[in-house]
Amino acid sequence: MNILITGGTGFIGTHLLRTLSASQNTIVLLTRGASATSAMNKATVKHLHWDPLSRGAWMNEINNCDIVINLIGKNVFEQRWNEKIKQEILNSRIIPTRLLVEAIAQAERKPRLLISASAVGYYGDRNNEILTEESSGGNDFLAGVVQQWETAAYDAEQYGVRVATPRIGLVLEKNGGMIGKMLLPFRLFAGGPIGSGKQFLPWVHMDDVVRGIMFPLENHQFHGIYNLVSPNPVSMNEFAKTFGTILYRPSWLPVPDIALKILYGEGAKVILSGQKAVPAQLQSAGFEFSFSALHTALKNILE
Ligand SMILES: NC(=O)c1ccc[n+]([C@@H]2O[C@H](COP(=O)([O-])OP(=O)(O)OC[C@H]3O[C@@H](n4cnc5c(N)ncnc54)[C@H](OP(=O)(O)O)[C@@H]3O)[C@@H](O)[C@H]2O)c1
């Protein structure tokens, strides 16, 4: 298959590309160019420079691809939020997605599938309400971003393209994301839950994220919105306790809301709020998680 991917240099993209490039796929990676990793096999992955906010020659590449995978987006924890950063968080998702769809519209030969990342941030802060793909959206900044991001992707349907948007949860993997941030304090006996501890974490193991993103590739009827989260979300308290147990460390030192608010401003809400999201669509389509229990997932990652 010919696959065009954005965000392939990122946390999830690097893992996905490793799997995709191990099979007989031809891959074009659109990148701003600065962060291409050495882990990537440049023999099987063609790197193409693009400005994700502008039209350009890259748009012609769509003619040659069967599948588009769109994983681009400024990391929401990269910087403390202010109006400028919020605009960048929005623009880095909406503009490239719209441009990809514009390129699809212009292409003589259209791809058959667009997989465009989304996030459980769609639901906003929902305490312990069980959230399926049918649940309503939230009304905070991130929820608004995700709603516009998904709408931009579904515009491709009018050109006969099958569209799938995984609402990705909190991805667990050793060298990055939340685990990357929690490891050091726990190792120094200073770990604990973040915020109230009562918020639900829609966690998912990186292996399942990669398999879940690839699911519509292998299942030709599968499309639409799907929660890409484990079937067993846990509270932050339970998460910290399990984390500590596996590392043989206590988990009694909570990180107060205020510390997060100082670091991330309004962005702290992303981790202080909870979503008890479940993968209803994936499970009814027969997807089997490699890691559905938190203890097994963390043991696999941390040991
Ligand atoms: N990780 C999670 O837990 C999680 C959870 C829910 C949703 N998601 C979504 O899934 C997608 C992939 O996540 P990830 O964690 O792998 O993302 P990531 O590593 O933070 O970033 C993905 C890629 O986006 C590009 N990028 C970064 N900042 C940018 C900016 N300011 N403007 C334009 N492009 C920028 C970079 O590609 P180049 O440098 O090659 O251009 C980067 O490699 C993202 O859209 C993210 O929002 C992730």
Domain ranges of the chain: 2-168+206-228+278-289
Share of the chain above pLDDT 70, in %: 97
Which pTM does this prediction carry?
Answer: 0.96
With a 6 Å cutoff on the Cβ, whether 73 touches ligand 1 is: yes
Bigger pLDDT: 99 or 189?
Answer: 99
Residue nearest to atom 32 of ligand 1 (CA): 92
Q: Specify the pLDDT at position 40.
A: 56
With a 6 Å cutoff on the Cβ, whether 14 touches ligand 1 is: no
Q: Specify the pLDDT at position 260.
A: 83
pLDDT in tens, 244-268: 999 999 998 888 888 888 888 999 8
With a 6 Å cutoff on the Cβ, whether 171 touches ligand 1 is: yes
Rounded-to-integer distance, Cα 228 and Cα 169, Å: 6
Mean pLDDT of 113-139: 97
Q: Specify the pLDDT at position 240.
A: 95
Strand, coil or helix: 3: strand
- Residue 87, pLDDT > 80, answer yes
Residue nearest to atom 23 of ligand 1 (CA): 7
- Residue 24, pLDDT > 60, answer yes
- Can you tell me which atom of ligand 1 is nearest the CA of 36? 40
Mean pLDDT of 205-227: 97
Would you say the C-alpha torsion 78, 298, 211, 281 has a positive or negative sign? Answer: negative
Instruction: Name the packing angle between helices 206-218 and 11-22 (round to 10°).
Output: 50
Residue nearest to atom 27 of ligand 1 (CA): 74
With a 6 Å cutoff on the Cβ, whether 92 touches ligand 1 is: yes
Encoded tokens for 189: 């006996």
Architecture (CATH level 2) of domain 2-168+206-228+278-289: 3-Layer(aba) Sandwich (3.40)
Bridge partners of 228, per DSSP, are: 168
Mean pLDDT of 8-32: 94
pLDDT in tens, 276-289: 999 999 999 999 99
* Average pLDDT, rounded, for the chain: 94
Q: Specify the pLDDT at position 303.
A: 87
Residue 38 φ then ψ, to 5°: -70, -20
Residue nearest to atom 2 of ligand 1 (CA): 171
Best mutation site among 71, 91, 100 for ligand 1 pocket (most ligand atoms within 8 Å of CB): 71
- Can you tell me which atom of ligand 1 is nearest the CA of 120? 6
Residue 226 φ then ψ, to 5°: -145, 135
Q: Specify the pLDDT at position 41.
A: 55
Q: What is the Å distance from ligand 1's center to 115 Cα?
A: 14
